[in-house]
């Protein structure tokens, strides 16, 4: 029932990182420092650092020390990447248009998508993300107001919903459904494509520890976007 000492040290370090006391790149206490601080043997202090390193939360280098890893790497496949970062990484210009942002009452399907009661009041946003001025992603998003009460107050032209949600309600799980389809007239005209043009639709439900945070339907013109992934077994 008592928490093992090595686990206590891990929790201490994770706490420091989550509170921002230790930032990515910072050096964390060495085995010898933790040994004194927690009055444990070196093997125990070491185990805490080693396991956090195995979990890719820390990075260790012999002779140098132990450091906070840059960012927690995700599963490389269908990785949840911020569209603005993705476009930026290609060296292209990102821009964005806010098409809708308000409270709505859930339809039966939306209630299921977000795991809330029917006819709840929830937040909805629709954004159009562009690469070099050309529409790349139509983002239709539902947000749980209980978990993210300040959603409507954000300026999504400065920070994508994805980036904001990652900060206020860190993801612990995500679901994806990928399909190919033709979109309706509204979405087609927003994306500046013909109605017959095939689109990639990604449905993504994200969880934090407290429940379903958000459900997003992302539409991409089939001729401008592909999803990639790499798996290691």
Partner DNA sequence: CAGTGGTCTAGACCACTGG
Alpha-carbon distance values, 203 to 41, 55, 128 (Å): 49, 28, 16
Which residues, numbered 45-74, are part of the site for its own copies (CB under 8 A)? Answer: 54, 72, 74
Q: Smaller CB distance to DNA: residue 18 or 36?
A: 36
177 contacts which partner out of its own copies, DNA, none, CB within 5 to 8 A by kind?
A: its own copies
Piece of 76-84, 86-94, 141-149, 155-163 that binds its own copies (CB under 8 A):
76-84
Report the SS3 class of residue 7.
Answer: helix
Q: At what angle do helices 5-18 and 42-54 cross, to 10 degrees?
A: 50
Binding to DNA by residue 44, rule CB under 7 A?
A: yes
Shortest gap between Cβ of 92 and its own copies (angstroms)?
19
Binding to DNA by residue 81, rule CB under 7 A?
A: no
Binding to its own copies by residue 179, rule CB under 8 A?
A: yes
Contacts 24+ apart (CB under 8 A), 73-82: 76/229, 76/230, 76/231, 76/232, 77/229, 77/230, 77/231, 78/176, 78/178, 78/202, 78/227, 78/229, 79/229, 80/162, 80/171, 80/174, 80/204, 80/206, 82/160, 82/162, 82/163, 82/166
Piece of 33-41, 86-94, 132-140, 198-206 that binds its own copies (CB under 8 A):
198-206
Binding to its own copies by residue 7, rule CB under 8 A?
A: no
C-alpha closest to that of 156 among 93, 98, 200, 100? 98
Q: Smaller CB distance to its own copies: residue 186 or 223?
A: 223
Shortest gap between Cβ of 213 and its own copies (angstroms)?
13
Q: Which helix (H) or strand (E) holds 41?
A: none
182 contacts which partner out of DNA, its own copies, none, CB within 5 to 8 A by kind?
A: its own copies
Q: Which residues of the chain form contacts with DNA (CB under 7 A)? A: 4-7, 30-33, 39-44, 46-47, 49-50, 60-66
């Amino acid at each position: 029932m008592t928490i093992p000492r090595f686990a206590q040290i891990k929790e201490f370090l994770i706490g420091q990182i989550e509170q921002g006391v230790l930032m990515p790149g910072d050096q964390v206490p060495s085995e010898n420092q933790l040994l004194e601080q927690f009055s444990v043997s070196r093997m125990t202090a070491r185990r805490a650092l080693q396991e956090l390193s195995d979990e890719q939360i820390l990075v260790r280098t012999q002779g140098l020390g132990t450091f906070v890893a840059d960012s927690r790497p995700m599963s490389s496949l269908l990785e949840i990447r911020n569209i603005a970062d993705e476009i930026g990484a290609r060296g292209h210009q990102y821009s964005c248009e806010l098409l809708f942002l308000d409270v709505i009452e859930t339809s039966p399907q939306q209630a299921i998508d977000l795991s809330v009661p029917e006819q709840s009041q929830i937040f909805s946003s629709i954004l159009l993300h562009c690469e070099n001025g050309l529409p790349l992603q139509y983002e239709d998003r539902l947000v749980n107001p209980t978990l993210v009460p300040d959603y409507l107050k954000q300026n999504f032209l400065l920070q994508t919903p994805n980036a904001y949600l990652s900060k206020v309600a860190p993801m612990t799980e995500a679901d994806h459904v990928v399909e190919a389809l033709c979109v309706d007239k509204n979405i087609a005209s927003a994306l500046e494509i013909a109605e017959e043009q095939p689109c990639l639709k990604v449905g993504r439900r994200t969880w934090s520890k407290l429940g379903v945070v958000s459900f997003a339907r992302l539409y991409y013109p089939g001729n401008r976007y592909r999803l990639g992934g790499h798996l290691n077994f």
